Amino acid sequence: MRELPPTAGLPLHLGDLRPGRASFAERMAEWLGVAQLQLECSGTAAMVVALHAMHRLRPRRDEVVVPAWTCPLVALAIHRAGLKPVLCDLAPNHFDMDPGQLDSLCGGRTLAIVPTHLAGRVADVDAALAAAQRAGAYVLEDAAQALGAEQDGHSVGLRGDAGFFSLAVGKGLTLFEGGLLLARDAALREAFAASHEALVRRDARMDWQRALELAGYALAYRPSLLPLVYGRPLRKALAAGDPVAAVGDDFGPDIPLHTVSGWRQAVGARALPRLRPFLDATRTQAWHRVARLRELPGVTVFDDAPDQRGTWPFLLLTLPDADARDRAMSVLWTAGLGVSRLFIHALPDYTYLRGIVPDTPLPRARDFAGRSLTITNSPWLGDAAFESIHRVLRQSLL
């Protein structure tokens, strides 16, 4: 029995786990070609620290505009920072926010707009910048799924005022959990550092827990062991009729805020030289497969504009309607081939977000949630297995 992961994570080598210490943020800043990075214990924590800092600089503003179809942790981070999420519906058949609606949602209470680089694709930051300039708001790029993605030869995260990456399992290079925060201007960088001082403490128990979890990842992240740690809980959740748990989106309100141990940083620093060749190989693999999927009528596959060079953890696609998507998933979700869904719902449809996000009409976000699916871009998905996925998709379009 083999099971493929739903995203292309960079596998760790056992040698990465030897004792040592490193400054991961410094190495990573050099790798990305940016002036400075701030390490936090998760992408969510990075977002809390960033919003806390922005709110201290502009205290009369308390709203944060996000796409209505995004990671539920984004809403929890905004709530944790004492702010209110404002949901923007999507552009037609796209994961980006609708620019017209974005404009109408922004005003004197808007603290920040969060364009979101999903699936390694580069989001429309310029539309967010235009709306932010009119409203006097910040632009905070959610690049949780896009570490290594570039536009015009520069890393994502700095076209706006600030941005963050996630180092969680499943998002590429991982410390099991981690986040990186970057800002364009020194003033905002200093404010982020001050927020870190105010909010983040060392936690010896979390250091041990995450160290064990990271070692567990190094051991179990391989097709022979993923049936145990990924496939079994997935099938159990689906059998129980709980797709939110199946994709791991069943988050609690607790957001840990603590430092990242020097050892975990060293593990990440040792894996880092392998990231560029890994991203190049997965990009080449993705190009062929995107072209192949484009042959399917009514299927949209997201890729890069000529000035963009994204990363390819998985392929994000929409099918023409929800029935076709559900027909495909009924075969593929439990086939062990790394086919999955990204976010199950538009944000108001997660029961645990009631009272945190407003319940507004979001026809396009709900439509996108109903028609989208993802195909892993792990190098472990061979051409024959990819073709079997292609066949199921073609059959489900009838």
Ligand X SMILES: *Cc1c(COP(=O)(O)O)cnc(C)c1O
Measured in residues, the chain has a length of 398
Please report whether residue 142 would count as binding ligand X according to CB under 6 A: yes
CB atoms within 10 A of CB 197: 10
* Sequence-separated (6 or more) residues with CB below 8 Å from residue 205: none
Distance, CA of 371 to CA of 299 (rounded, Å): 10
Member of 32, 34, 48, 71 binding ligand X (CB under 6 A): 71
Pick from 269, 257, 308, 363: nearest CA to 20:
269
Q: Per CB under 6 A, does 37 bind ligand X?
A: no
Smallest gap from Cβ 1 to ligand X, in A, equals 28
Task: State both tokens at 85.
Answer: 């999420």
Continuous H helices in the chain: 24-32, 43-57, 72-80, 99-105, 125-135, 186-199, 204-220, 226, 232-239, 243-246, 262-271, 275-294, 322-332, 363-371, 383-396
- φ, ψ (nearest 5 deg) of residue 87: -95, 125
**86: contact with ligand X by CB under 6 A:** no
Applying CB under 6 A, among 28, 123, 158, 168 the residue interacting with ligand X is 168
166 binds ligand X (CB under 6 A): yes
Q: Is 42 in the site for ligand X (CB under 6 A)?
A: yes
DSSP 116: B
Q: What is the total count of residues that contact ligand X (CB under 6 A)?
A: 14
- Could you tell me which stretch among 39-47, 147-155, 209-217, 360-368 binds ligand X (CB under 6 A)? 39-47
Residue 175 touches ligand X, criterion: CB under 6 A: no
For ligand X, the closer of residues 9 and 223 by Cβ is: 9
Q: Which stretch binds ligand X (CB under 6 A): 142-150, 205-213, 268-276, 364-372?
A: 142-150
Q: Output the six-digit token pair for 226.
A: 């993923």
If phi > 0 it is left, if psi is from -120 to 50 it is alpha, else beta; for residue 182 that is beta
Site for ligand X in 338-397 (CB under 6 A): none
From 70-78, 207-215, 235-243, 321-329, give the range in contact with ligand X by CB under 6 A. 70-78
The answer for residues whose C-beta is within 8 angstroms of residue 295's C-beta and 6 or more apart is none
- Identified binder of ligand X from the candidate list 7, 101, 110, 116, rule CB under 6 A: 116
CB nearer to ligand X: pick between 169 and 324: 169
> Does residue 44 touch ligand X according to CB under 6 A?
yes
User: Which span sits near ligand X by CB under 6 A: 40-48, 121-129, 236-244, 297-305?
Assistant: 40-48
Interface residues toward ligand X, by CB under 6 A: 42-44, 70-71, 73-74, 116, 142, 144-145, 166, 168, 179
